[in-house]
Amino acid sequence: MPAPRPRVVVAMSGGVDSSVAAAVLVEAGYDCVGVFMRQAPPALPLGELPVLASPAGHQGCCSAADALDARRVANRLGIPLYPLDLTEDFGRIIDDFVAEYGRGRTPNPCVRCNAWLKFGRLFDHADAIGASHVATGHYARLECPAGGPPALRRGIDTDRDQSYVLFDVGRHRLARMLLPVGGLRKAEVRARATALGLVTADKPDSQEICFVPPGQHARLVAARLGGSRVGEIVDKTGRVLGRHDGIEQFTVGQRQGLGIAGGTRLYVVRIEADRHRVVVGPREDVPERELVAAEVRWLGDPPTVPFAACVQCRAQRVAAPAEVTPLAGCRFRARFTGGPATTPGPISPGQPAVVYADDLVLGGGWIEG
């Protein structure tokens, strides 16, 4: 009798990347089981913003249209597709998102989703059906050298690289992960989808947060937190320059949408959540030279002494050279060592700081200050 094919749970979002990931695995002989992560909108007060609304042009994921596309792709590939109700788990992500904005921080819910759901809860499903691996359409690569631990690296397509949002998955999961499109460029992925006749071949990429329409996160936060959101916009001396309707509308480094007039360009320098204050100043006052990250997760042996690396502080930015110093309590400090042209950009509390050696992900944490 032939040996049984390895079974893999494939997270299928209804996008082209996860569609081609499933196709690559089918072609490689895996026994693929597609899963569409489904969540229902949490209740909000009548008349408030409906979470998970899908207005025209919204490029998120997890909508009814995405579910239908995932079903069509699964049928085309000849694999089963099961909806997995993760309403309660998505609720946890939304709660974290709201709480972070309430603390004056700028959250990244996609990182939480990857760690808690795609490479978290989906392993529970994989275990339940006897699957050895969980696969997604992320643009990142996994290397498993003989006799050594798995390593997470940037995707071949550096313009699409998503290793940054996978840092928090955990080293114990890497050996059971598959990232089939990490060695492909986006154009190759779309070409494969076209050749296979997949309905997602020309589908726009997901670019928005899946549980709130674009540009509406502040309304969600205000509805969840309640109470007065009004506060002051001040300069670093405390002089009042204007007022705002909620700190959740701001992030460190922001220049547009401040609602104040002045002779010079002003940027958000910091957010004082306890006082509902937004502090603004000139560009040179925006923090870019040093950060401290907490809740650090290393994907290899934790370092014990300072070392040189590159640190990336936002998904769409490049990593900047820094000296990284491990600190007590699962924390590290990064001091950026390059010149003005090689800074990481504005450092926003609540965002991930991910540490790289060339294209290898060493680990990362959440910026606390």
CATH 2.30.30.280 applies to domain 229-285: yes
Q: Please state the separation of Cα 53 from the chain's center in Å.
A: 20
pLDDT digits (tens, 9 = 90+) for 229-268: 899 999 999 999 999 999 999 999 999 888 887 678 999 9
Query: Does residue 162 contact residue 206 with C-beta atoms inside 8 Å?
Result: no
The whole-number average pLDDT for the span 269-283 is: 95
Answer whether 229-285 and 290-367 agree in fold.
Answer: no
Question: Which of 190, 181, 168, 188 lies closest to 141, judged by CA?
Answer: 181
Question: Where exactly are the structural domains of the chain?
Answer: 7-195, 229-285, 290-367
The answer to which of 118-122, 217-221, 319-323 has the lowest mean pLDDT is: 217-221
Reduced to 3 states (helix: H, G, I; strand: E, B; else coil), residue 315 is coil
- Measured CA to CA, the distance from residue 2 to residue 83 in angstroms comes to 30
- Say if residue 224's pLDDT is above 60: yes
Q: Output the pLDDT for position 212.
A: 81
Q: Tell me the two tokens of residue 278.
A: 């937004």
For the chain, the average pLDDT equals: 90
Cα distances (angstroms) measured from residue 56 to each of 59, 189, 205, 208: 9, 25, 14, 13
Q: Output the pLDDT for position 41.
A: 52
Query: Does residue 21 contact residue 28 with C-beta atoms inside 8 Å?
Result: no
CATH number for the region 7-195 comes to 3.40.50.620
Q: Is the pTM of this model over 0.85?
A: yes
pLDDT digits (tens, 9 = 90+) for 318-336: 999 999 999 999 999 999 9
- Say if residue 345's pLDDT is above 70: yes
- Measured CA to CA, the distance from residue 98 to residue 223 in angstroms comes to 10
CATH number for the region 290-367 comes to 2.40.30.10
Angle between helices 16-27 and 64-77 (to 10 degrees): 20
Catalytic residue numbers, as ranges: 113, 210
